[in-house]
Amino acid sequence: MFSSFFNRLLLFFLLFSLVLGDKAFTGTYGVNYGRIADNLPPPESVVTLLKAAKIKNIRIYDADHHVLRAFKGSGIEIVVGLGNEFLTEMSVGEDRAMSWVKENVQQFLPGTKIRGIAVGNEILGGTDIQLWEVLLPAAKNVHNALSKLGLAKNVQVSSPHSEAVFANSFPPSSCTFKEDVLPYMKPLLQFFSQIGTPFFINAYPFLAYKNDPQHIDLNYALLEKSPGIYDAKTKLHYGNMFEAQVDAAYAALEKVGFGKMEVIVSETGWASRGDDNEAGATIKNARTYNLNLRKRLLKKKGTPYRPKKVVRAYIFALFNENSKPGPTSERNFGLFKADGSIAYDIGFTGLEPSSATSSLISLKGDGAWLVLAFTSLVALFL
């Protein structure tokens, strides 16, 4: 009896590990872990915080070794960032890209679940035209390095864009890429289409509302009940701006021949504080947006234009970052304060001494899940 029980238990664990290893993005809800601050918790505490919140997907904007070591065995999937300052160097030759991948990705695998490399951030449509020219060769060299190391199947190369790549986005069906962006965007899309990379967009209803509060319904921006908008071309109704922004990206992609490419939101969020001229930047609005968005993403449904494409998004950001330059809002996008406590309540628990010692949370990797599985199986077989 006991031999049969342990054989079945072993088989279950093997199957369980295969299922875990097969997913590149677990679920629909991720978070951006920015660290432009001098008062944040150590990465080891951040792991505890994320596991308590059941957040399994994060993005960082570099490849910090302390962070990557801290996440070893956590089971949390990470997209690392190759900063804009490295793009020119990476575009020149594959040797430098190979060195970077070996140093910042390969050596941490498989213990740390690095699932992607974001090559640059918001390059196209930005002010540095030289970076537009080197983005594609840099991305290709990084991908080629991953391929030669046998890592390309599990580590995805991407590059997130801002809304500045679009000439217009209202109504969603009218969205097009800017004419000056197209010569760089189309070959980039062609390459990403070949390697199976989605289109990543940083979509912020907050920024749209902040820039035009007289003409945008706040409830529409916050995913609250509102009259919404009607797109006459597609005959579709949009109850919130977030879905309209996602479908605008789909429309733009379709117009240049990439209608089947998936859109993933690499950043979205709402500031809880702002300057006097930053309309809508309040704790109440930040809580409303992030709570409604979390509920919407957990439903795992599509958009009006792409109802079968489940929407996935990374929230910006995990923490308020006190060293970020710019207006006050830039330092107040966090779901959590610098001490690890919640900035406002959307269902997460902050870092607390009493909860940080939880035996399941403190287990490394997927150990907590295996303990739960073991307990369930013991109850089943005995």
Q: Where are the domains of the chain?
A: 23-336
All residue ranges of the chain with pLDDT < 70 are: 1-26, 352-382
pLDDT at 137: 98
Q: Strand, coil or helix: what is 61?
A: coil
Give CA–CA dist 321/35, Å, rounded. Answer: 7
CB atoms within 10 A of CB 257: 12
Kindly state the DSSP code that residue 229 receives in the 8-state scheme: E
Class of domain 23-336: alpha beta
Kindly state the DSSP code that residue 328 receives in the 8-state scheme: G
Give CA–CA dist 227/69, Å, rounded. Answer: 48
Nearest to 286 by CA among 339, 331, 237, 243: 331
pLDDT at 360: 31
Catalytic-labelled residue, pool 77, 267, 278, 321: 267
Q: What is the DSSP string of 79-120?
A: EEEE-GGGHHHHHH-HHHHHHHHHHHTGGGTTTSEEEEEEES
pLDDT at 350: 86
Give CA–CA dist 271/135, Å, rounded. Answer: 30
pLDDT at 93: 85
For the entire predicted model, the pTM comes to: 0.86
Catalytic-labelled residue, pool 77, 122, 163, 243: 122
pLDDT at 11: 45
pLDDT at 351: 83
Whether 179 sits among the annotated catalytic residues: the reply is no
Whether 122 sits among the annotated catalytic residues: the reply is yes
Helix (H) or strand (E) holding 21: helix 2-21
Token code pair at residue 215: 């003409």
pLDDT at 28: 92
Q: Strand, coil or helix: what is 316?
A: strand
pLDDT at 26: 61
Where would I find the H helices in 30-181?
A: 43-52, 65-70, 87-92, 94-104, 129-148
- CA atoms lying within 13 Å on the CB side of residue 382: 9
Give CA–CA dist 35/62, Å, rounded. Answer: 10
